[in-house]
Amino acid sequence: MPSHSPVPLRHDWTRAEADALIALPFSDLIFRAQTVHRAHFDANEVQMSTLLSIKTGGCPEDCGYCSQSTHFETGLKATKLMETGEVVAAARRAIEGGASRFCMGAAWRSPKDRDMDAVCDMVSEVKALGLETCMTLGMLTREQAGRLKEAGLDYYNHNVDTSPDYYGKVISTRTMQDRLDTLAHVRDSGMAVCCGGIVGMGEGESDRVGMLLLLANLPRHPESVPINALMKVPGTPLGESAPLDGLDFVRVIAVARIMMPRSVVRLSAGRDFMSEELQALCFLAGANSIFIGDRLLTTNNPKKDKDDALWAKLGIKPMAPMPLADEVSGTR
Ligand code: SAM
Ligand code: DTB
Ligand code: SF4
């Protein structure tokens, strides 16, 4: 149960404030993040989500981290869009595995209008199972966002990935402005926004802060903020990136928690190579959602028995599904 007074929401964070936050002594930073976290969430609850790649590989974009781009030789086999029945079967398995949220991802630059009927069917059928639904299909037009909302989609995931300054070092086939345009279409449709990025792509601390400032100073905070640690994929331009310092990663989570107090901060990609201790620090820093299940989209995630043992050691309980209706009307 939340145990402190609510923290006011701000959309006017300055660079100097954010730089000072990320540079705090570690214990001070974690204490601030915990205080904010406990004002809005039960600190022992974590939302369990499962990911499914509904269309894998063959993507025309050149995101330098991604196994699914046709620009790089990663050995990944491209597939067609899955049938709705297969997606529903995977969603049932996700429920049996303990998930309350189901995120469907497609390796598209943007959905073709002819794909919209199929993805909308998937949304309605998965939602009918009682799962919170999220999709990530690339850039959306205003009309496509409206159709997904109508089909019942709760969240749309579209990441800014990194700071505006570092963006051009990672992706050349679409701009940061393209991403912001899609995010505006999602926001205007009434769906909740899931938007975050990746740490460990060779960016500096000022880029990490730049990304968090961009997110926290949007007119509304994304309801969900995934923070991914780079999964290094051999064959991609970022496949040989320098190792990410675990404590630096925890700092990004803590600053995200402090700047976006009511958002769900998602410890996304990267748990498979994190120790139990590092994951525990991420939860202490305010992360309260994760992906469970052996696979993310194309890379590995911890096995269920290993995860279950960690939840038992940490006393973590799965979060019940969160109502969204009034959140979308303006509390974050
Ligand atoms: N094609 C769609 C798009 O990019 O908008 C949706 C799928 S894409 C895989 C979703 C997000 O996953 C990316 O924006 C990126 O932040 C994250 N991601 C992809 N590959 C990753 C990797 N190797 N390590 C960490 N995060 C990754
Ligand atoms: C997000 O920010 N992380 C998830 C979800 N959104 C779609 C994807 C992580 C993908 C990790 C690399 C892979 O498995 O291909
Ligand atoms: Fe395509 Fe998405 Fe991968 Fe970029 S991150 S290459 S858009 S699948």
324 pLDDT band (50/70/90 cuts)?
A: low
Residue-wise over 243-271: b if at least 16 C-beta within 10 A, else e? ebebeebbbbbbbbbbbbbbbbbbbbbbb
Identity of the residue numbered 16: A
* Cα dihedral across residues 300, 250, 313, 42: positive or negative: negative
Alpha-helical regions (H) of the chain: 15-22, 26-40, 84-96, 116-128, 142-151, 164-167, 176-189, 205-216, 246-259, 276-284, 304-314, 325-328
Q: Is the pLDDT of residue 167 over 50?
A: yes
103 tagged catalytic: yes
Ligand 2 atom at minimal distance to the Cα of residue 296: 14
Angle at Cα 161 formed by Cα 316 and Cα 270, nearest 5°?
A: 40
- pLDDT value for 3: 67
- Could you tell which of 230, 272, 296 is best to mutate to test the pocket of ligand 2, judged by most ligand atoms within 8 Å of the CB? 296
Span 206-217, mean pLDDT?
Answer: 98
296 lines ligand 3 (CB under 6 A): no
Residue 259 to residues 186, 247, 256, 263, 331, Cα–Cα distance (Å): 22, 18, 5, 9, 14
Note whether 162 and 201 are within 8 A (CB).
Answer: yes
pTM of structure:
0.95
Pairwise CA distance, residues 55 & 58, whole Å: 9
Of these residues, 103, 120, 195, 282, which one is catalytic? Answer: 103
Of these residues, 134, 187, 251, 271, which one is catalytic? Answer: 134
Q: Is the pLDDT of residue 248 over 60?
A: yes
195 tagged catalytic: no
Note whether 314 and 280 are within 8 A (CB).
Answer: yes
The protein residue whose alpha carbon is closest to atom 18 in ligand 1 is 66
Strands 101-106 and 132-136: parallel
- pLDDT value for 6: 80
What's the distance, CA 169 to chain centroid?
21
Pairwise CA distance, residues 159 & 100, whole Å: 22
The protein residue whose alpha carbon is closest to atom 3 in ligand 2 is 268
CA 58–ligand 3 middle distance (angstroms): 9
Cα–Cα nearest to 94, from 287, 317, 292, 270: 292
The protein residue whose alpha carbon is closest to atom 11 in ligand 2 is 269
Cα–Cα nearest to 105, from 80, 135, 84, 76: 135
Cα–Cα nearest to 316, from 294, 291, 288, 293: 288
192: helix, coil or strand?
strand
106 lines ligand 3 (CB under 6 A): no
Span 301-311, mean pLDDT?
Answer: 96
63 lines ligand 3 (CB under 6 A): yes
Cα–Cα nearest to 201, from 68, 63, 51, 22: 63
pLDDT single digits (tens) 81-137: 999 999 999 999 999 999 999 999 999 999 999 999 999 999 999 999 999 999 999
Residue-wise over 197-211: b if at least 16 C-beta within 10 A, else e? bbbbbbbeeebbbbb
Span 6-15, mean pLDDT?
Answer: 92
- pLDDT value for 20: 98
181 pLDDT band (50/70/90 cuts)?
A: very high
- pLDDT value for 1: 60
Residues 6+ apart with CB under 8 A from 189: 142, 145, 146, 148, 149
120 tagged catalytic: no
pLDDT single digits (tens) 262-294: 999 999 999 999 999 999 999 999 999 999 999
- pLDDT value for 8: 85
User: Using a CB cutoff of 8 Å and minimum separation of 24, what contacts does 170-175 make?
Assistant: 170/63, 170/64, 170/65, 170/201, 170/238, 171/61, 171/62, 171/63, 171/64, 172/62, 173/60, 173/61, 173/62, 173/109, 174/61, 174/109, 174/139
- pLDDT value for 326: 47
Q: Is the pLDDT of residue 145 over 80?
A: yes
Q: Is the pLDDT of residue 327 over 60?
A: no
Identity of the residue numbered 225: V
Q: Is the pLDDT of residue 325 over 70?
A: no
134 tagged catalytic: yes
63 tagged catalytic: yes
Identity of the residue numbered 204: G
Span 36-58, mean pLDDT?
Answer: 97
CA 79–ligand 3 middle distance (angstroms): 14
